[in-house]
Amino acid sequence: MIEVRHRAGLLLVAVVLAQIILISAQVNTQRGVSLLEAVAFGVFSEVQRTIAGGVAAVRGAWTGYVALRGVVRENEALRRRLAQAEVELQQQRALADRSRGLARLLELREQAELTTVAAAIVGAGATPDFQTVTIDKGTADGVKRDMAVIAPAGVVGRVVTTGARAAKVQLLIDRNAAAGAIVERSRAQGVVVGAGDDRLHMEQYVSESADIAVGDVVMSSGIDGIYPKGFLIGRVESVQKSGTAYKRILVKPAVDFRSLEEVLVVIAPAGAREAAGSVE
């Protein structure tokens, strides 16, 4: 018994040491995506795709049977039209915001039309500690790392890992996610970061003189070079101040991440993104 415990203890030390070395190696040389991550994701995304296909087939058959085929089809067509209209509204909002910036600078710049690829979510993250989803479009469809992902309701996140036929998207609510943000009413700028649950924080890099109030609309500012400017991020839910400084600004995301099924990956040329970001 003592022998077994001794052996287990030694094995524990060896495994823990090996993993500490592994962690140290990544912390020192963290550049891009590791080969291990890329291979693991490539393999697992196929599993997710298959399972999601099966689940979707079962769900599709069930809803088609219960709610009658015609109604489901009509409902889906209407939802698609509504989603399309909301995307157009978002684009108009982005264009309007951009036009205001242009007018202020009395400078004419080329308007950046968004080129997007529609993708379906086929899986959530393999661990609850990170807020990620897997989409069914990859490098074969033109999806690349650091491309913005949006939905009709607003900003969703960015692509962090790509496979040939799938990609992993880090949601804006992940603790490691951040985006340049601007308050629509007062033009106060800051950075929204994920809180790890279903809220965003905006207190970082917000000037003490900035005017931010509950209910304010928060949009992407474009300064991060990832998210296109003028897209809806959310609304300010609460503001806490300590003296003149902002202690806590909670933002409720515009996107309902739990019910998200389809998203758009922004395949915009880098030049257009940079131009969008430099207008402010």
Q: How far is CA 216 from CA 43, 63, 157, in A?
A: 43, 39, 21
CB 188 within 8 A of CB 210: yes
Tokens of 206: 């917000």
Mask 138-177, x = binds another protein (CB under 8 A)? ----------------------xx------x-x--xxxx-
List the one residue out of 202, 154, 212 whose CA is nearest residue 177: 202
Our finding on whether 11 is near another protein (CB under 8 A) is: yes
Question: What gap in Å lies between CA 89 and CA 230, rounded to an integer?
Answer: 11
Q: Which of 116, 131, 162, 220 is in the footprint of another protein by CB under 8 A?
A: 131
Query: By CB under 8 A, which span of 106-114, 130-138, 147-155, 209-217 interacts with another protein?
Result: 130-138
Site residues for another protein, 171-190, by CB under 8 A, read: 173-176
Minimum Å gap between C-beta 174 and another protein is 7
Q: How far is CA 128 from CA 39, 103, 188, 225, in A?
A: 21, 45, 33, 28
Our finding on whether 257 is near another protein (CB under 8 A) is: yes
Minimum Å gap between C-beta 39 and another protein is 8
| Helices 35-66 + 69-105 axis angle, to 10 | 130
Name the site residues for another protein (rule: CB under 8 A): 4-5, 7-8, 11-12, 15-16, 19-20, 22-23, 26-27, 30, 34, 36-37, 40-41, 44, 47-48, 51-52, 55, 121, 123-134, 160-161, 168, 170, 173-176, 193, 195-198, 257-258
